[in-house]
Structure 1
Amino acid sequence: MLTLDPQKLLEQQLAESHRRFPGPDYQKVLRWVHQTLKPSLYIEIGVECGDSLLNTLPTTKSIGIDPSPRCKSRPNVDIYAMTSDDFFAQVEAGTISGVSGYSLAFIDGLHTYDQALRDFINLEKLSSTDSVIMLHDCIPLDEISASNPRASQFYTGDVWKTLLILVRNRPDLKICIIPTWPSGLVLVSGLNSKSEVLNEKFSVLVDQYRPLRFADYSSTTSELPSPTPIKEAAVKQFLQAS
């Protein structure tokens, strides 16, 4: 079996991604969200170089979480060099405070469905009725980029399973799917910090969804909300109605 050169594979995947998602990229959509919500506290899991943090407003207090961040804390931005699990454990222990009732959060960490689900559960516990959680990479491109563990530079992982789990197990949530480049962005509102549904079923759900592969994705899309147009007005409408 021939193995495609990694650089050639990346070029092909990027070309296909641009073909499928020709509109504004997710960074622009993030800016729309920040400008609409004007969050007082923003939490981002998986900051890497800190590019997404540049979309925040000067008045927003931001928290970035990453085990190996390539950016540093600065005024109004605190970077925690640790895993999200460790971060939330310290919040629960009281070592880290001032996180409850955040306005906006973004899950963009390991890109695996189980970790994204655990991050969602932990974030929802700290949410207020007005909080919004965003998930990246919920629209997979192909089998190799949607694999778990990672097998290519262009990588969405299997976070699409997390979205499916939310749709199937939490019909009370309001979910907006934005097909923005390179692999989609999902907004979730209607959070309930008291809900134990996902937490109680976590192990069962992880086992249940582990066998699903990219080939199974197309058969589940009919269960998902219809995509929202990649327009600022449409995104704003969802956020203001939430």
Structure 2
Amino acid sequence: MNRHEFLRGLHKASANRNYLEIGVNDGRSLTLSRVPSIAIDPAFKVVTEIRCDVHLVKATSDDFFARSNPLAHLKGGRHPLRNLRRGRHPLAHWRGTSLDLSFIDGMHLFEYALRDFMNVEKHSDWSSVIVFDDMLPRNVDEAARDRHTNAWTGDVYKVIEVLNRYRPDLETVLVDTEPTGLLVVFGADPTNTVLTEKYDEIIAEFVYDDPQKVPESILGRTTAVKPEALINAPFWKPLVNSRNRGTKRGRGWESLRASLKQINTAG
């Protein structure tokens, strides 16, 4: 299964009400969205038909998230009349939008990808789904920070080790998609400040000159799961129901976490 086939399945399985994409390029992944969306790229060149209500932002992701209200376009993700029928203030949901599905495919350097995650997490919650592209380089040359190949992942694969070491509260699933794999992250916590506090320490250890020391497990894809195993997992319906009800982190998260551990163990 290739990247776009997996993303199409993820849109369906997660029943996301909104979508954020970092790194638009020609718009092939953005064209999969059918919900209110934000797409960020300082030099996008969209050549495909976009079939969603989208705010295309020509800026770096750092500059975008530095805005006072970056998700303003998504505030209408739930119609106010629906809130009225449920006895809520008509603008209740609009005041605190949380991202349902985010796709990070921006600058292919570790520190940029890490900052993208940090920024996205501030606008997510435990039921959000955050996806990184290009996590499984096929050789050391493809993983170089200084690009010298046609296909290029850069060193964003390092995000896997950093999240597993510094954020064990998250669940990460490495997915064996073509051509260069994905990482799906569950359990976002917008109140967690560990990555911000440890950022300088992380950069000092993980950013270094080429050649990169790519783990054999990455090159061999030995810890990646089949994309079908994740897309067809039974936890999606309970996750969507919990998210749509606004269920707080707790029993719902622990159940999801147990299911994800089983998927990772099964490979």
TM-score by length of 2: 0.73
Match of 2:6 among 24, 29, 32: 29
Aligned residue number for residue 237 of structure 1: 233
1:140 aligns with 2:133: no
1:86 aligns with 2:70: no
Q: Which has the higher contact order (CA 8 A, sep 6+)?
A: 1
**AA of the residue aligned to 2:3:** Y
**AA of the residue aligned to 2:15:** K
Match of 1:69 among 28, 44, 58: 44
Q: Which moved more, 1:147-156 or 1:36-45?
A: 147-156
Matched-pair contact (CA < 8 Å) for 1:139–1:183 = yes
Secondary structure of 2:4's aligned partner: helix
**Separation in 2, partners of 1:176, 1:197:** 20
Rate the CA distance shift 1:114–1:95 in 2: closer, same or farther, 3 A: closer
1:201-240 equivalences under 5 Å are 201-211=198-208, 216-218=213-215, 226-231=223-228, 233-237=229-233, 240=236
Structure 1 position 214, deviation (Å): 5.8
Q: Percent identity?
A: 33
**AA of the residue aligned to 2:170:** L
**AA of the residue aligned to 2:28:** D
1:200 aligns with 2:177: no
Give unmatched runs, 5+ long, in structure 2: 75-96, 237-255, 258-267
Rate the CA distance shift 1:149–1:213 in 2: closer, same or farther, 3 A: closer
> Larger strand proportion, structure 1 or 2?
1
Matched-pair contact (CA < 8 Å) for 1:145–1:155 = yes
Matched-pair contact (CA < 8 Å) for 2:176–2:182 = yes
Superposed CA offset, 1:55-80 (max 9, x none): 22x3x111110000112877511110
Superposed CA offset, 1:142-171 (max 9, x none): 222111122222100001111111111111
RMSD over equivalenced CA pairs, Å: 2.4
Structure 1 position 96, deviation (Å): 5.3
TM-score by length of 1: 0.80
Aligned residue number for residue 152 of structure 1: 149
**Separation in 1, partners of 2:145, 2:41:** 19
Aligned residue number for residue 182 of structure 1: 179
Rate the CA distance shift 1:234–1:207 in 2: closer, same or farther, 3 A: same
Superposed CA offset, 1:109-137 (max 9, x none): 00111000000000101112211110011
1:162-181 equivalences under 5 Å are 162-181=159-178
Matched-pair contact (CA < 8 Å) for 2:110–2:159 = yes
Structure 1 position 220, deviation (Å): 6.4
Give unmatched runs, 5+ long, in structure 1: 1-23
Rate the CA distance shift 1:95–1:184 in 2: closer, same or farther, 3 A: closer
